[in-house]
């Protein structure tokens, strides 16, 4: 294919991508950092599973179908993180994967977890539990300075891959650390290219419902084989045991399935898989490239408007910008068909820009703001 033909076919597949998301017909949907737009294919896939369950009941074949679906989703998510399927657990959200990792380390008084000063409650909750339940000390440093801030008592560095407020990135130097690194990838996977080996992290927790446009209740946790050995697993059952019928002697799966959430339903997994396929068909490289470029263009245009300076940001898909009344403005924008969020305790609104958006969505936001 010539370059022109490649660009043309990319343009066609990205226009086709937009048509997959019914919400875009009525709104400038800029909220994937919270929950992505659902593609129609996802609801069709979920409905087909429920219909099957309705008509056929839920017996052996149903549980085989669940395994088939979870295997396929694990393969799809592992490809997105660039890891082996054996190192990838399925969770219900980013927060669950973070909690599994931090709780599983069984840290104690005298140990320290180093984190940044711009983390989300999804990570802060697990840190609070480690502190309150086990006396672990939590120390903060600016995201960009975390690698230098590691001390002799640091047992884990836990921070965002991409910050939820600013969209800035974890520093590359984290890859060089001896101490384990857990990345919160809620604003990473699906939004920007991710290669867990290049990031050099030991664990990476991500969401299925945000930039992968899946249903609520989907997520992933990558854990290296080395860290896997060190993490205890307190919740056990059919979902993560290799031989459940062995009773109290039952052992966990050898691979990362030991961290799997315990009850993922067929309709949710089918919807997540269908959503990932819709994006995959458009081409992941194109999806990332377009979203990052559109977000940069939005930031540039906001910078031209008085009182709308973008917050400092990295080359991500998030654009936070100034607002004198973030909560009130979010509501007014929603009434005008522009869906985004405000950042609590900051004078900012945050637009999440995906490959499914276009210049018209950005214009609609910009004209509604002025
Ligand atoms: C950086 C970050 N971490 C964690 C979360 C929580 O994600 P989840 O709902 O998948 O647990 C979010 C969600 O907004 C987030 O932005």
Q: Would you say the CB of residue 93 lies under 6 angstroms from ligand 1?
A: yes
**How high is the mean pLDDT of the chain?**
96
What are the φ/ψ torsions at residue 162 (nearest 5 degrees)? Answer: -130, 125
Report the pLDDT value the prediction gives residue 5, as an integer from 0 to 100: 64
* pLDDT (average), residues 327-331: 97
* Half-sphere exposure in the Cβ direction for 163 (13 Å, CA): 23
Residues 251-266 have pLDDT tens digits of 999 999 999 999 999 9
Give the chain's length. 370
pLDDT bin (cut points 50, 70, 90) of residue 4 is low
Q: Does residue 217 line the site of ligand 1, with CB under 6 A?
A: no
Taking the centre of ligand 1 as the mean of its atom positions, its distance from the CA of residue 80, in whole angstroms, is 18
Which residue's alpha carbon is nearest to atom 14 within ligand 1?
34
**Domains parsed from the chain with CATH numbers:** 3-30+283-369 (3.90.1150.10), 48-279 (3.40.640.10)
How does pLDDT run across 218-254, given as a tens digit for each residue? 999 999 999 999 999 999 999 999 999 999 999 999 9
Of 152, 154, 106, which is closest to residue 130 (Cα–Cα)?
A: 106
CA 246, 252, 255, 259 torsion-angle sign = positive
State how far the Cα of 232 lies from the Cα of 157, in Å rounded to an integer.
Answer: 18
**Which of 158, 185, 207, 346 best tests ligand 1's pocket when mutated (most atoms within 8 Å of CB)?**
207
Expressed in angstroms and rounded, the spacing between residue 95 Cα and the centre of ligand 1 is: 6
- Nearest alpha carbon, ligand 1 atom 15: 186
Does ligand 1 lie within 6 Å of residue 255's CB atom?
no
Greatest alpha-carbon span in the chain: 67
- The answer, yes or no, to whether residue 206 has pLDDT greater than 90, is yes
Q: Which one of 122, 159, 272, 314 would you pick to mutate in the ligand 1 pocket, going by the greatest count of ligand atoms within 8 A of its CB?
A: 122
Distance (angstroms) between ligand 1 centre and the Cα of 209 equals: 10
Is 207 near ligand 1, meaning CB less than 6 Å away? yes
- Check whether 3 has a pLDDT greater than 80: no
* Ligand 1 centroid distance, CA of 213 (Å): 14
Angstrom distance (rounded) from CA 169 to CA 317: 11
Contact 278, 213 (CB under 8 A): yes
Model pLDDT for residues 46-72, shown as the tens digit of each residue: 999 999 999 999 999 999 999 999 999
Establish whether residue 164 lines the binding site of ligand 1, counting it when its CB lies within 6 angstroms of any ligand atom.
yes
Is the shortest distance between the CB of 187 and ligand 1 below 6 Å? yes
Q: Model pTM?
A: 0.96
Residue 141 has pLDDT above 90, yes or no: yes
* Ligand 1, pocket-test mutation among 33, 92, 186, 219, most atoms within 8 A of CB: 186
Query: Do strands 137-141 and 154-160 pair parallel, antiparallel, or not at all (unpaired)?
Result: unpaired
Residue labelled with tokens 């992505």: 36
């Amino acid at each position: 294919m010539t370059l022109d033909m490649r660009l043309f076919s990319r343009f066609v597949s990205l226009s086709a991508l937009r048509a997959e998301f019914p919400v875009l017909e009525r709104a400038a949907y800029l909220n994937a950092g919270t929950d992505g737009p659902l593609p129609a294919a996802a609801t069709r896939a979920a409905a087909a599973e429920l219909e099957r369950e309705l008509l056929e009941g839920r017996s052996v074949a149903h549980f085989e179908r669940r395994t088939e679906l979870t295997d396929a989703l694990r393969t799809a998510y592992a490809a997105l993180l660039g890891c082996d399927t054996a190192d990838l657990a399925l969770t219900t959200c980013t927060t669950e994967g973070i909690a599994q990792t931090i709780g599983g380390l069984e840290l104690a008084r005298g140990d320290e977890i180093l984190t940044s000063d711009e983390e989300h409650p999804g990570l802060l909750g697990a840190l609070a539990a480690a502190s309150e339940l086990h006396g672990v000390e939590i120390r903060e440093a600016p995201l960009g300075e975390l690698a230098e801030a590691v001390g002799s008592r640091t047992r884990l560095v836990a921070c965002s891959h991409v910050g939820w407020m600013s969209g800035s990135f974890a520093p590359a130097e984290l890859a060089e650390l001896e101490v384990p690194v857990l990345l919160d990838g809620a604003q990473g996977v699906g939004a920007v290219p991710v290669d867990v080996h290049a990031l050099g992290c030991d664990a990476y927790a991500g969401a299925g419902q945000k930039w992968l446009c899946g249903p609520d209740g989907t997520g992933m946790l990558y854990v290296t084989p080395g860290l896997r050995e060190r993490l205890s697993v307190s919740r056990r059952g059919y979902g993560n045991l290799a031989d459940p019928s062995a009773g109290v002697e039952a052992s966990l799966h050898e691979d990362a399935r030991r961290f799997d959430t315990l009850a993922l339903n067929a309709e949710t997994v089918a919807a997540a898989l269908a959503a990932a396929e819709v994006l995959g068909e458009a081409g992941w490289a194109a999806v990332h490239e377009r979203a990052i470029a559109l977000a940069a263009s939005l930031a540039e245009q906001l910078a031209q408007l008085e009182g709308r300076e973008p917050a400092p940001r990295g080359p991500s898909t998030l654009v936070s910008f100034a607002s004198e009344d973030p909560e009130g403005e979010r509501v007014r924008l929603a009434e005008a068909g522009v869906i985004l969020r405000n950042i609590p305790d900051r004078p900012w609104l945050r637009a999440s820009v995906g490959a499914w958006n276009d210049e018209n969505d950005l214009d609609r936001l910009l004209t509604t703001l002025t």
